[in-house]
């Protein structure tokens, strides 16, 4: 769990540093307010993947314990 939290923290720092750098394409999206929609969708997708992987890890751990008992 600690590894996941630290990975998320590093990725969020990376995303914020990338957003701080002005780009020509980003200026257009930012000027019409769509950059926030793009960032929101990307964050939602990323969080969905992270939650799915955490759920999958929990299920695999349960199966490993079940098979060790047999």
Domain boundaries, the chain: 2-69
| Size (the chain), residues | 70
Could you give the C-alpha distances from 50 to 20, 31, 68, in angstroms and in order?
24, 31, 27
Is 2's pLDDT higher than 60? Answer: yes
- DSSP H helical segments within 1-70, as ranges? 2-20, 24-32, 35-69
32-65 pLDDT, tens digit per residue, is 878 888 889 999 999 999 999 999 999 999 999 9
Could you give the C-alpha distances from 47 to 28, 41, 51, 52, 62, in angstroms and in order?
26, 10, 6, 8, 23
């Amino acid at each position: 769990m600690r590894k996941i939290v630290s990975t998320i923290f590093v990725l969020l720092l990376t995303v914020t540093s990338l957003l701080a750098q002005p780009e020509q394409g980003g200026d257009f999206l930012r000027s019409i307010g769509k950059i926030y929609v793009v960032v929101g969708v990307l964050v939602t997708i990323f969080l969905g993947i992270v939650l799915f992987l955490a759920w999958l890890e929990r299920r695999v751990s349960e199966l490993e314990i079940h098979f060790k008992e047999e």
